Chains A and B, each alone.
Chain A
Amino acid sequence: MAANFWTSTHYVNWIRNAGTIQVEMNALRIRDSEYFTEEELISLQVYFAQFISTLARKAGLRQRIAATATVYYKRFYMRSGFVDHDPRLVAPVALYLAAKVEEHTVTAQKIINQLNLMYKGEHSYPYVVADIYDYEFMLISELDFDLVVFHPYRALMRYCSGSPLNSILRGAWAMVNDSYRTDVCMNYPPYLIAFACIYMAGSLDNMDMDTWMEKMNIEPGELSEVIRAISSVYEPGKTGKETSTLQLGEALEGKIQARFADRQKRKQEERQGKERSMEQWLRKDKGAAEPSSKGSKP
C-alpha cells in the first residue's frame, strides 16, 4: 500500500480530474448555491483548509495530519452539501479522525477546548464532544472507510534533500502546504504535486528547472496544469484572500450560524431529552423493584 500508490484506495477510488469532479458535484452545488453565493462556496473550501491547519497547530498536531484532514474534508463535501452539514463541525471532526489514522490520537475534548478558545468573537463555538463523536461516525462512512491518504511531502524530501535542490526545500514545502487550499490533492497524484512545487520554488530561485524536468523525464503538459492550479492560491482575490487570521468574514459566519443554529438547538434538546428519559426510566426501574421490599417492611 504505502509502497504502491497505484493500487491504493487513494488513487483507485478518489483521484479524478477536475472536470469529472465538477460534474459529480453539480447537483450538490446547485442546492448549496440556493443559500450560498459562488464566492462564499469557494471561501468555504479555501478558508476551512486554513482553519484545519490552524486548529492542528494549536492542538499540537503536525502539518501532515492537517493535510490528511483537509483531504477528508474535501472528500466529504464532494458527496454532501454545505447547506446540510456545518463546515465548522466537519472540519474539526476531519482533523480528529485524521489524528487517529496517523497514530496521533487526540481527545475530542481537546479539540473542543481549542475551538472554544478560537471562537471568542460574536458567535461562540456551538458544538460539544458528543457532536464530534456523531460526526466521526458519519464522516468515516462518507469516506467509504478509505483512510490512507498519500501526500507530496515524501516525494519532496526524496527529490530535494541531499541534492542541489536542497536549498529550495523550504520554499517548496510551504507551497505544498498552500496547495491544500486548492483541489490539486483531489485531482493529481502526490508526486506530481511535489514536482510542481519543486518547479515553482526552483524557478523563483532562478534555477534552471527545465533541464531538471528533462532529466527527471517529467511530462510538461500535466505538470503545467498542476502549477496553474496551485498558483491560483497566490493570485490575490481569486480563491480568497491570504487568510492569516481566522476571520471567515462576518457575513458568511453569520449565515452559517443562522443556517445551523436551529438544527443544533433541536439536537441538543433531543440529547437532553434522551438523557432525561433515561434517568426517568432508571428511576422507574428502581421504583418498580423497590415496592416489594418496602412492602415487606411495615
Chain B
Amino acid sequence: MTMLRKSLRDKYDPIGKIGEGTYGLVYKAQVIAEGEVAVAKRSVAVKKFKSFRSGDGISPTAIREIKLLRELSHDYIVDLMDVMLDPDDKALYLVFDYADHDLLEMIRSNHAHQGAGMDPVTVKSLLWQILQGINYLHKNWVIHRDLKPSNILVTGSDKPVEEQGCVKIADFGLARLFQAPLRPFTDVDSVVVTIWYRAPELLLGAKHYTKAVDIWAIGCIFAELITSKPLFQGQEKIRKGEDRNPFQSDQVSQIFRILGKPTQKEWPGIVDLQHWNEAQNWRESKNILHERVPALRPGTSGFDLLSKLLEYDPSKRITAEQALEHEFFREEPLPKRCALVNGDPYKPRPVTPLDPNKDTGWATKVKKNGNRGAKSSANLSSNLSSNLLEGKYAKASKKLKTNH
C-alpha cells in the first residue's frame, strides 16, 4: 500500500453512492490514472466514515477496520488499498478494491428468477473461497463476527477474466483480534451479527466469541446460496432500556424448529448458558434440515458438510481448516477460483447518483471530469444549501453539459 500524501480528490474521482450505514457512506470511484496512457480505469469503493467530531474522535469501527486490514492480505479478503484523511471535513476514508457484486444481491437475483437456483459449481466455489478466507483470518487470530451475505463481495465482469467471480470478505468493523482479549467481548458491543446468522451459543447468552461463530454463519450462508432463502429467519426483538442484549427467542425457536431442540447430551455446555433456562422447556422438535434444503440429499457430502457447519455445540463445530479438507471439496465438480460459470450473469450493483446536498466533501461532484471550479461551487452549495447557491450550482453544471 502506498501512502502518498496526495489529496483524495487528486487520486479518486467519485462516481456514485453504493451503500449507506450507521458508520457513514460508501461510494464507487475511479482511480485517477497517472501518466498519459489511457488504460481502463480501475474502480474502487471509498468508505467514508462520519466526521470524527460527531462522536468521540475517530470511530472505533474505523479503527478496527484499519488496524486489521493493514495487517491482512489474502486473495479472498477485501484489499484495503489506501486510507485518506480529509482535513477539511475531518472525515476518514478507506479505499478498497472494487467488487461488482455481493452475495445478498446475487441471492436476490436468483430468488427473483424462480426455480433458477444458483449453479452448484458456483455455490461450491463460493463456499470454498469463503472458507479459505475465514481460515486465513482464524489462523491470524481474527474473528470476523459479522458474516452475512451482504458482507461477502464477489468480483464481476469489470475485472480481467481471471479475477472474476472471486470472493472478497469485507466489513471488518466488528472483527476482533481474539488472542488474550483484555475483557470479554460482549461487554462493549453486545449486539453483533445480524441475528439470522448469529450462532446459537450467542443467542443463548454466551459471553465470549469464538471462531465457531463465523463457522455457523457460513453454514447459514451455504444453505441460503442453495435455496435463495435465509435458513433461519427470526423476528428480531428490538433492544430497549437496560437490556442491551435481549433474548432473541424467535430466532432460537426458528433454529430449533429446523435443527431440532438440542439436548444436554449433544451439547453439554448448553446448561451454562443464561437463556437456556427459558428455552429448555420448549416442546421437543426433530431435525428437518433435509426438508429445508432439498437440493442437498441426506447422505451426500454436501449435506454432511452443512450439518457439520451447523453443529450446535461450538466446541464440536467443524473448523474452517477441517471444512476445507471435507469430502465435498474433493469430489466433482471441484471448486474453482472463478465461481461464476459461463461469464457473469449478475447485474453489477446499483450505483446511486451523487446528491450534492448529502454527498459533501470529497464526494461533491458535478460531472465526470468536471472542472475544479464548478466542483468547488458545488461544494459550497452542499455546505450552505441556500437556494441562491444551489441555483449557481445548477447553472454551473448546465454550463458544463453544454460545453461538452
A residues near B, CB below 8 A? 1-4, 7-9, 62, 64-65, 96-97, 100-105, 107-108, 132-133, 136-137, 140-141, 144-148, 154, 285
Residues of B within 8 A of A146 (CB): 70
Q: Pick the contact of A136 from B57, B68, B87 — CB < 8 Å?
A: B57
Closest beta carbon of chain A to B360's beta carbon, Å? 16
Contact A100 B66 (CB under 8 A): no
Q: In the complex, how many residues of chain B place their beta carbon closer than 8 angstroms to a beta carbon of chain A?
A: 32
Closest beta carbon of chain B to A3's beta carbon, Å? 5
Residues of A within 8 A of B64 (CB): 103
Residues of A within 8 A of B140 (CB): 1-4
Given contacts A3-B141, A8-B71, 16 further A-B contacts (CB under 8 A): A2-B140, A97-B57, A97-B63, A102-B182, A103-B60, A105-B56, A105-B188, A108-B57, A132-B57, A137-B58, A145-B66, A146-B70, A147-B70, A148-B67, A148-B70, A148-B71
Residues of B within 8 A of A3 (CB): 139-141
Q: How many A-B residue pairs have CB under 8 A?
A: 83
Closest beta carbon of chain A to B79's beta carbon, Å? 14
Contact A144 B3 (CB under 8 A): yes
Residues of B within 8 A of A7 (CB): 71
Complex Cα gap A108–B56 (Å): 7
Complex Cα gap A13–B83 (Å): 16
Contact A103 B181 (CB under 8 A): yes
Complex Cα gap A96–B52 (Å): 14
Residues of B within 8 A of A97 (CB): 57-58, 63
Closest beta carbon of chain B to A4's beta carbon, Å? 7
Contact A9 B58 (CB under 8 A): no
Q: Kindly report which residue of chain B lies nearest to residue A105, judged by CB atoms.
A: B60
Q: Does B183 contact A (CB under 8 A)?
A: yes
Q: Kindly report which residue of chain A lies nearest to residue B188, judged by CB atoms.
A: A103
Q: Kindly report which residue of chain A lies nearest to residue B137, judged by CB atoms.
A: A1
B residues near A, CB below 8 A? 3, 52-53, 56-58, 60, 63-64, 66-68, 70-72, 83, 85, 87, 90, 139-142, 176-177, 179-183, 188, 386
Q: Kindly report which residue of chain A lies nearest to residue B181, judged by CB atoms.
A: A103
Contact A145 B182 (CB under 8 A): no
Contact A1 B141 (CB under 8 A): yes
Q: Pick the contact of A103 from B3, B56, B182 — CB < 8 Å?
A: B182
Q: Kindly report which residue of chain B lies nearest to residue A4, judged by CB atoms.
A: B140
Given A2-B179, A133-B57, residue A147 in contact with residue B386 (CB < 8 A): no
Contact A9 B70 (CB under 8 A): yes
Complex Cα gap A147–B139 (Å): 20
Closest beta carbon of chain A to B60's beta carbon, Å? 5
Q: Kindly report which residue of chain B lies nearest to residue A65, judged by CB atoms.
A: B182
Residues of A within 8 A of B142 (CB): 1-2
What would 30 A/B residue contacts be, using CB atoms closer than 8 Å? A1-B68, A1-B141, A1-B142, A2-B179, A3-B141, A4-B140, A96-B57, A97-B57, A100-B60, A100-B63, A101-B67, A102-B182, A103-B64, A132-B57, A133-B52, A133-B53, A136-B52, A136-B58, A137-B52, A137-B87, A137-B90, A145-B3, A146-B70, A147-B63, A147-B66, A148-B67, A148-B71, A148-B177, A154-B180, A285-B386
